[in-house]
């Protein structure tokens, strides 16, 4: 069968690697892809928000399955457009992708269906938000309702900071229309864990757990980024936490969406915080995490096409989802200066070293093929993933492999997976 992947990051590269492993797949296309994906797929110069072009391309090439990796096209309704044209697509429809697309929606859903999450209030007016903030407890969390590249969350320690935050989000519209509604949320403390799952509208199968490192610098300092590295599984995701979430979070979310007439098919990514009062949902995403996919997918044993088709067909209950009994760590190699400003266009050396190394992967995020060779073309450039029998071994392997790659301006965190030493 012919598969089209929509997206251009490390996550889409990780998806492409698993799709390429499927014996059922004869040809892979990617729109727009990157230099790494181009080694497995034919990349076409169509960007993820060019819906008409994507639909026309999928029809012309008689694509059997389109996998939408990114949040923007999912929230914008790309899956609906593909389905209207009679094409098969993996990912939630627009009315279900709202689970990620609107934080106000997801908070209201959790409240209505008693899914554990932080206390909150939604505001459409800056004035009302400011009045509320006068008497609130601090720290407090402000969230732009809509998609904001993972940057629409502000943790405010004082009323002054909160006033400034309301101004940025609601008045100055720093995140555009994403800030038309503001969610003001109780500040929680605890460890964060990501759990990704496949969903077919009614059945949910969770994948192995993972943990991201969102801040730019070692010791969780610096600005929030898309993610600087991940490990999987999380040793903090215990059987007890899993039991709790199976009872109160996972199926409850799928059932809530179905009850609302928004049956969810695709990936639900649960961002959990393990608080002293038990696990609570920080956020939902409607897609694989990036770079969570880069540690979870290499450990998945199933044929990804079988699982994705079962999600579309509503037969996920018949899939025995299995992961390897090992560990993986991903260290992101970024351009120095990310997430603020950075230079691009530097030649990347050492990519070939990964070719014959079992259990090692170099996922491309911001790269481009030029006459000079493959060059840096973004803030997050590569994700270096290694497996190991244990988390510690995987971490050693991953850091060893980061040395195989050189480029000017190369920047990475040196403490990805450090938390596992506390176990």
Query: Interface residues with ligand AMP (CB under 6 A)?
Result: 118, 141, 150, 153, 155, 185-188, 192, 214, 271, 282-283
**Contact positions with ligand GLY (CB under 6 A) in 336-395:** none
Q: Which is nearer to ligand AMP, 65 or 282 (CB)?
A: 282
Q: Does 292 bind ligand GLY (CB under 6 A)?
A: yes
Site stretch for ligand GLY (CB under 6 A), options 240-248, 283-291, 306-314, 354-362: 283-291
Cβ contact 178:291 at 8 Å: no
By a kind-dependent CB cut-off of 5 to 8 A, residue 61 interacts, out of ligand GLY, ligand AMP, none, with none
The C-alpha atoms of residue 3 and residue 252 are separated, in whole angstroms, by 32
C-alpha distances (whole Å) from 85 to each of 11, 80, 392 are: 26, 9, 48
Selected from 285, 302, 376, 377, the binder of ligand GLY by CB under 6 A is 285
- x/- map, 219-258, ligand GLY, by CB under 6 A: --------x-------------------------------
By a kind-dependent CB cut-off of 5 to 8 A, residue 192 interacts, out of ligand AMP, ligand GLY, none, with ligand AMP
Site stretch for ligand GLY (CB under 6 A), options 120-128, 235-243, 288-296, 354-362: 288-296
Size of the site for ligand GLY (CB under 6 A): 7
DSSP assignment, residue 250?
A: I
Exposed / middle / buried, residue 54 (Cβ in 10 Å: 0-12, 13-18, 19+): buried
Cβ contact 82:58 at 8 Å: yes
- Phi, psi angle pair for 315, to nearest 5°: -120, 25
- x/- map, 140-159, ligand GLY, by CB under 6 A: ----------x---------
Smallest separation, CB 287 to ligand GLY (Å): 8
By a kind-dependent CB cut-off of 5 to 8 A, residue 98 interacts, out of ligand GLY, ligand AMP, none, with none
Cβ contact 305:340 at 8 Å: no
- x/- map, 183-212, ligand GLY, by CB under 6 A: -----------------------------x
| Residue 28 bridge partners (DSSP) | 3
By a kind-dependent CB cut-off of 5 to 8 A, residue 153 interacts, out of ligand AMP, ligand GLY, none, with ligand AMP
By a kind-dependent CB cut-off of 5 to 8 A, residue 314 interacts, out of ligand GLY, ligand AMP, none, with none
Smallest separation, CB 77 to ligand AMP (Å): 22
CA dihedral 391, 396, 397, 401 (to 10 degrees): 140
Tell me whether the omega of the peptide bond preceding residue 165 falls within 30 degrees of 0, making it cis: no
3-class secondary-structure state, position 191: strand
| Secondary structure element (H or E) that encloses residue 198, with its range | strand 191-200
Residue 63's closest CA among 41, 47, 96? 41
Selected from 266, 289, 298, 366, the binder of ligand GLY by CB under 6 A is 289
Smallest separation, CB 418 to ligand GLY (Å): 18
Q: Which is nearer to ligand AMP, 153 or 331 (CB)?
A: 153
Give 382-422 as a DSSP string.
EEEEEEESSHHHHHHHHHHHHTT-B-TTEE--S-TTGGGGG
- Which residue carries 């938390």 as its tokens? 419
The C-alpha atoms of residue 280 and residue 122 are separated, in whole angstroms, by 18
Smallest separation, CB 255 to ligand GLY (Å): 24
Q: Six-digit token pair at 29?
A: 């296309």
Which residue ranges make up the site for ligand GLY (CB under 6 A)?
Answer: 150, 212, 227, 285, 289-290, 292
């Amino acid at each position: 069968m012919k598969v089209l992947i929509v997206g251009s990051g490390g996550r889409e590269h990780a998806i492409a690697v698993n799709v390429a492993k499927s014996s059922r797949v004869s040809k892979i296309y990617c729109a727009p892809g990157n230099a790494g994906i181009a080694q497995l797929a034919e990349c076409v110069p169509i960007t993820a928000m060019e819906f008409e072009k994507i639909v026309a391309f999928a029809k012309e090439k008689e694509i059997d399955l389109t996998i939408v990796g990114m949040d923007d096209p999912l929230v914008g309704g790309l899956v609906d457009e593909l389905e209207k044209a009679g094409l098969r697509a993996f990912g939630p429809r627009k009315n279900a992708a709202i689970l990620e697309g609107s934080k106000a929606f997801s908070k209201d859903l959790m409240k209505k269906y008693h899914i554990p999450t932080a206390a909150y209030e939604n505001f459409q007016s800056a004035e009302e938000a400011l009045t509320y903030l006068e008497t609130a407890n601090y720290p407090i969390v402000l969230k732009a309702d809509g998609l904001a590249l993972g940057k629409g969350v502000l943790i405010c320690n004082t009323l002054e900071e909160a006033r400034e935050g309301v101004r940025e989000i609601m008045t100055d519209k720093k995140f555009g229309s994403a800030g038309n509604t503001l969610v003001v949320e109780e500040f929680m403390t605890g460890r964060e864990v990501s759990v990704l799952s496949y969903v077919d509208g009614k059945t949910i199968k969770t994948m192995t757990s993972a943990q991201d490192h969102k801040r730019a610098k070692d010791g969780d300092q610096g600005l929030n980024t898309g993610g600087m590295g991940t490990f999987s599984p999380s040793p903090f995701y215990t059987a007890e936490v899993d039991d709790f979430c199976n009872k109160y979070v996972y199926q409850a979310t799928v059932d809530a969406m179905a009850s609302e007439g928004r049956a969810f098919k695709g990936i639900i990514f649960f961002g959990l915080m393990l608080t002293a009062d038990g696990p609570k949902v920080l956020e939902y995403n409607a897609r694989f995490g990036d770079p969570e996919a880069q540690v979870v997918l290499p450990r998945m044993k199933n044929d990804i096409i079988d699982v994705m088709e079962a999600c579309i067909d509503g037969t996920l209950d018949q899939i025995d989802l299995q992961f390897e009994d090992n560990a993986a760590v991903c260290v992101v190699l970024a351009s120095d200066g990310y997430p603020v400003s950075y230079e691009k266009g530097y030649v990347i050396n050492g990519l070939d070293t990964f070719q014959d190394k079992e259990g090692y992967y170099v996922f491309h995020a911001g790269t481009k093929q030029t006459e000079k060779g493959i060059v840096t073309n973004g803030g997050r450039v590569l994700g270096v993933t290694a497996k190991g029998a244990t988390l510690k071994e995987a971490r050693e392997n991953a850091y060893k492999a980061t040395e195989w790659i050189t480029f000017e301006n190369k920047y990475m965190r040196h403490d990805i997976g450090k938390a596992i030493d506390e176990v």
